[in-house]
Structure 1
Amino acid sequence: MRYADDWCLMVKGTRADAEDLREEIAQVLAPMGLRLSMEKTVITHIEEGLDFLGWRIQRHRKRGSDQHYVYTYPSKKAVLAVKRKIKAVCRQVEVNQPLDDLLRRLNVMLRGWCDYFRTGVSSAVFAYLNSYLWESAWRRLRRKHRKSTWKEIRLRCCGGGWWPASERRELINLEKVGTTRYRYRGSVIPSPWPAADNEEHTVPTGLVESPVH
Structure 2
Amino acid sequence: AGFMESHILSPTMAGTPQGGIISPTVATMALDGLQARLSQQPANTERKRSRLRMNFVRYADDFIVTGHSKEFLEQEVKPCIEAFLAERGLTLSAEKTRVTAIEEGFDFLGVNLRRFGDKLLTRPAQKSIQSLCSKLRKIIKDNSTAKQHNLIQQLNPVIRGWTQYHRHGVAKKIFTDVDTYLWQLLWRWATRRHPNKGARWIKDKYFKCMQHRHWVFATTENTGSTEMVALVKARDTKIRRHLKIRCAANPFDPEWDDYFARRKYRRFRD
When the two structures are superposed, what TM-score results if normalisation uses the length of structure 2?
0.61
Q: How many residues align?
A: 180
Equivalent in 168, 174, 197 of residue 119 of structure 1 = 168
Structure 2 portions without partners, runs of 5+: 2-15, 17-25, 28-60, 222-228, 249-270
CA root-mean-square deviation:
2.1
Q: Residue 243 of structure 2 aligns to which amino acid in structure 1?
A: R
Number of the residue aligned with 2:124: 74
Number of the residue aligned with 2:81: 25
> Post-superposition shift, 1:189?
4.7
Conserved? CA contact 2:104–2:114, under 8 Å? yes
Number of the residue aligned with 1:93: 143
Number of the residue aligned with 1:171: 231
> Post-superposition shift, 1:150?
2.8
Conserved? CA contact 1:51–1:57, under 8 Å? yes
SS in 1 for 2:230: coil
Q: Distance in 1 between matches of 2:127 and 2:180?
A: 18
Q: Residue 239 of structure 2 aligns to which amino acid in structure 1?
A: T
Q: Trace 1:18-167 onto structure 2 (pairs within 5 A).
A: 18-19=73-74, 20-61=76-117, 68-95=118-145, 97-160=146-209, 161-167=214-220
Q: Residue 203 of structure 2 aligns to which amino acid in structure 1?
A: R
Q: Distance in 2 between matches of 1:78 and 1:134?
A: 19
Q: Percent identity?
A: 28
SS in 2 for 1:35: coil
Q: Which moved more, 1:174-183 or 1:42-51?
A: 174-183
Q: Distance in 2 between matches of 1:163 and 1:94?
A: 19
> Relative contact order (alpha carbons < 8 A, sep ≥ 6): 1 or 2 greater?
1
Superposed CA deviations along residues 158-193 of structure 1, whole A, max 9, x for unmatched, are: 2354111011321111110112222368xx759xxx
Conserved? CA contact 1:134–1:163, under 8 Å? no
> Post-superposition shift, 1:54?
1.4
1:14 is the counterpart of 2:69: yes
Conserved? CA contact 2:103–2:114, under 8 Å? yes
SS in 2 for 1:166: strand
Structure 1 portions without partners, runs of 5+: 62-67, 191-213
SS in 2 for 1:32: coil
Number of the residue aligned with 1:195: none
Q: Residue 48 of structure 1 aligns to which amino acid in structure 2?
A: E
Number of the residue aligned with 1:203: none
SS in 1 for 2:100: strand
Q: Residue 86 of structure 2 aligns to which amino acid in structure 1?
A: A
Q: Distance in 2 between matches of 1:182 and 1:69?
A: 15
Conserved? CA contact 2:122–2:169, under 8 Å? yes
Bigger Rg, which one: 2
> Post-superposition shift, 1:120?
1.3
Conserved? CA contact 2:112–2:123, under 8 Å? yes
Q: Distance in 1 between matches of 2:205 and 2:120?
A: 46
Conserved? CA contact 2:113–2:121, under 8 Å? yes
Q: Which moved more, 1:153-162 or 1:172-181?
A: 153-162
Conserved? CA contact 1:121–1:181, under 8 Å? no
Q: Distance in 2 between matches of 1:36 and 1:71?
A: 27
